Every structure is written in C-alpha cells, then in structure tokens.
Amino acid sequence: MDKIEKEQFNHVGKNLEAAQSIKRPSMSYLQDAFRRLKKSKPSIISFWILVILIIMAIVGPMISKSLYGHTYRSQNLKLQDQTFILSNQRSLKLSSNSVFSYGKYKPNLRKTKLEFKNVKLKNQSGKLSFYIGDKSEESYQGDQKEYKLEITTTSSDNWDSIIKKLNIEAENILKQDPDFRGISFKKSHNNITVTTKGEKNFNSKYWLGTDDLGRDLFTRLWEGSRVSLLIAVISVLFTILFGVVYGGISGYIGGRADTIMMRIIEIIMVIPDMLYIMLLSIVFPRGVVTITLVLAFTSWMGTAILVRGEVLRLKHSEYVIASQILGADSKRVIFKHLIPNCMGPIIVNMTMMIPRMIFAEAFLSFIGLGVPAPYASLGVLVNDGAKIFYQYPHLLIIPSIVLCLIMLSFNMLGDGLRDALDPKLRK
C-alpha cells in the first residue's frame, strides 16, 4: 500500500459565501403547505372538479333560462319524462292475445322494444293485436298518431307463419302511412322480440331530459347543487364559528368550567342527531333556513372537542406564557394566539364536514324532511328519481353522480389538506 504523504493534500478552508447562501427560498407556513398540496395530484384533481361543479351550480340555471326560459319550477306536462336522447320510435303495448302464453312481460307505454319470455302456443287459431304509438305522446314521438296491428291465426299456423304474418301486416301499414316508421317481430329460442323503428337524436332543448312534471333536469340539477352546497357551507360556517369559540374558551379556562362545558356536550351527543333533526323540523317550518340551523345545531360538538384539545396542547407554550406576562387578557390570548395556531386542524375539519352536511341534507330530503317543493336539492332529485328508477333511470343516476363527485372531491381535498398542513410531514 502506498504511503499517504501530507503534501498530497491542499487546504481548502471555509467557503463563507457558500455557507451563507440560501439553499431554498424562505416561505411562510401557508406557502409551504400550499407547495405540498400542489404535489398531491388527487387533491388538485378534486379541487378542479369542485371548481367546475361550483361554477356550474352558479351559472347552470342562468344558461338554461337565457337560452330556453327554463326555471327550476316551470312545468310542462306534455313534455314529461323526456330523456337526453330523444327517439321517434313509437311505444308498444300488447292489446289482445289469445294465441300464446308468456312468462314475463312488463307493459310500459314508453318502451320501444318488448320481449316476451318463455312463450308457448296455447291456441293456434285466434287473434293477436298490438298498439303502436300513443295519442298522448306528442313530446316523445313527434306526433300523436296511434296504430293498431292485428292478425288472425288459424289452426295450421306455427311460430314461423305467425311471425311472418305480423311482419307482413307491419309492412302493409307502413305502405299506407310512411309516418308509421315500421315495426319488426323476431322469435329466438323461447322469446319473442318486438322492436319499433325510428331515429334517435340528442335532446337539444332539454339537455338532460325532464322529470315526471316536465321540468328541465339540467336546470334543477344545478339549482339543487347550489341549494345543497349553500346549506352545507353555511351550516359548516355556523358550526365552526360556535364550536371554535366554545372549545377555545373551555380549553383555555380549564378547571370546573371546562368540566361543566364538556359534560354539556356529552349530554347533547348522547341523544341521536336524527331525533334532534326530526323534532326541530316539526317545530320550525320546512325550508333552507330551518335545515341549515338544524344541521349546524347537531354538528358543532365535534369541532368544539377538537379545538379544546388543540388549546390544551398549546396553552402552555412559550409564546402564550410570554403574552400573559406582558399583560394580555384571556380574550386576546385565545383569539390572537391560540385559535390562529389551531387553524390547520380546523380547516381540515371544515373540509371534511362539508360532504357530511351535503349527505345529511340529501338524507333528510330523501325521507321527506328536507327542502319543500318546488325547491330542488340533490336529495330531492335523488328521492324523486328513485320512485321511477325502473322506468326512467337517468332521473336517479345523473343527480347521484353529481352528489358522489361533490362528496368524494371534498373528502380527497380534505385528505390532501390534512397532509399539507401537518408540519411533521414537511420535507
């Protein structure tokens, strides 16, 4: 091994300029939290989804009103239950049948395709007739025409000849009136499928269709989102305001006052929230103000307990003791020093409470204790759509998607804020 000589080394010394240089820019606590929040892709995506939904809740009803004059309460029973894809296919209904039996058949005036399952010939000679179209369906098929297709079968007929007779009769009606647009019959295994013909187009006037009273779903969706968000945000603000003050005073004063104030919270929390909600909803008239106060009254206790715990942790800190020595009174210590340093958990709690409030409002509206008719909210729309889900599933699916997006986005944004505002996770 070669011997290491002293002459092989050079004395570098201290680089004072490099030692005093700032490796990264100085930033405040909130700036650092925002920097970390931007690194969370799910939180940023959720934030922009919420921005889009909130903008649509504000301008959506304005757009439909300015273009078509729609409002959340305007009705047109002639245009009820439209979908966002309009079809001029005529609806179908079995009128009379003495020819075959079937195991399953759901009559529906708006169905453009019928399927009879497990069919069996019960009487080869008889009459079989269908109604195609309906005089009351002007909004659906573009006119008010109704046709009757009828055939007579004989004892020599079988399934092939019966289906052939039905299709020939359909062609004869089409030759007589081109507006009939046609109908086809097909038998596959033990099932008979009946399908009307026509064209499908986007509903240019009612972008998401209409409900059972002919009200524009697009307008009611965004009006309902506006009402639900408004109820949730205002109730959360009331909850935060009262809970922060109550918890801050309880945690700072301590002693017997703290014990009494916490026992009051425990007594209130023992009684189920739903009982409070039902009692207050019965005493006060139904409306946006009532449901906002009800949700705020039943939700402030958790915030108060959270703030009390943070104040108990911080009230013996050096800056609090220094403020007390300099003569600051309790009010200044609580609201100037303690609560501002609790804002991280408070903001996260507030973000997490908004989806809970929205879900609570939707649940109350679903059981009939929410906003009264004709006002719209996401809960009201979900409740109305659930009643006719099998006939018109879009009336339930569309508001449910918006409700889920709002709740999921707020929860994911809250998770991101919780991580960003935690100084222990700073890198």
Q: Which helix (H) or strand (E) holds 41?
A: helix 41-68
Considering the domain boundaries, does residue 63 fall inside one?
A: no
C-alpha–C-alpha distance, residues 140 and 205, integer Å: 13
Is the whole model's pTM more than 0.85, yes or no? no
At 94, is the secondary structure helix, strand, or coil? strand
C-alpha–C-alpha distance, residues 111 and 99, integer Å: 22
Considering the domain boundaries, does residue 192 fall inside one?
A: yes
Considering the domain boundaries, does residue 12 fall inside one?
A: no
Taking CA 384 as the corner, what is the angle to CA 381 and CA 386, rounded to the nearest 5 degrees? 105
Beta bridge partners of 245: none
370 & 228 share domain? yes
233 & 193 share domain? no
305 & 364 share domain? yes
pLDDT at 59: 94
Considering the domain boundaries, does residue 139 fall inside one?
A: yes
Q: Please identify, among 202, 232, 255, the residue that sits at the C-terminal boundary of a domain.
A: 202
Structural domains of the chain, count = 2
Q: Please identify, among 176, 202, 228, the residue that sits at the C-terminal boundary of a domain.
A: 202
387 & 268 share domain? yes
376 & 267 share domain? yes
pLDDT at 4: 78
Which residue in this structure is represented by tokens 């969706």? Answer: 221
95 & 139 share domain? yes
239 & 342 share domain? yes
307 & 362 share domain? yes
C-alpha–C-alpha distance, residues 282 and 358, integer Å: 21
Considering the domain boundaries, does residue 185 fall inside one?
A: yes
302 & 154 share domain? no
Q: Please identify, among 156, 178, 202, the residue that sits at the C-terminal boundary of a domain.
A: 202
Q: Which helix (H) or strand (E) holds 273?
A: helix 273-283
Considering the domain boundaries, does residue 91 fall inside one?
A: yes
Give the range of the structural domain holding residue 282, as residue numbers without chain letter.
Answer: 217-425
Which residue in this structure is represented by tokens 């026992």? Answer: 263
Cα 4 from chain centroid (whole Å):
75
Of 242, 250, 213, which Cα lies nearest the Cα of 330?
Answer: 250
**Type of residue found at 112:** T
Considering the domain boundaries, does residue 59 fall inside one?
A: no
Which CATH number do you get for residue 238?
Answer: 1.10.3720.10
CA distances 385 to 221, 254, 281, Å, are 12, 51, 23
222 & 195 share domain? no
Backbone angles phi, psi at 376, to 5 degrees: -115, 140
pLDDT at 55: 94
C-alpha–C-alpha distance, residues 189 and 367, integer Å: 45
Considering the domain boundaries, does residue 68 fall inside one?
A: no
Q: What does 122-151 look like in DSSP terms, one character per residue? A: S-SSEEEEEEES-TT-HHHHSS---EEEEE
171 & 221 share domain? no
pLDDT in tens, the chain (427 residues): 567 777 777 777 776 676 666 666 667 767 777 888 888 899 899 999 999 999 999 999 999 888 888 888 888 877 777 888 877 778 888 888 888 888 876 655 566 788 888 888 887 788 899 888 877 666 566 677 889 999 998 888 888 899 999 999 999 999 998 888 889 999 988 888 888 887 878 888 889 988 888 899 999 999 999 998 998 899 999 999 999 999 999 998 888 988 999 999 888 888 887 787 777 777 777 788 888 888 888 888 888 999 999 888 888 888 888 888 888 888 888 888 888 888 888 888 888 888 888 888 888 877 777 788 788 888 888 888 888 888 788 889 999 999 999 989 998 888 888 888 766 555 5
384 & 302 share domain? yes
C-alpha–C-alpha distance, residues 209 and 394, integer Å: 8
**Type of residue found at 163:** I
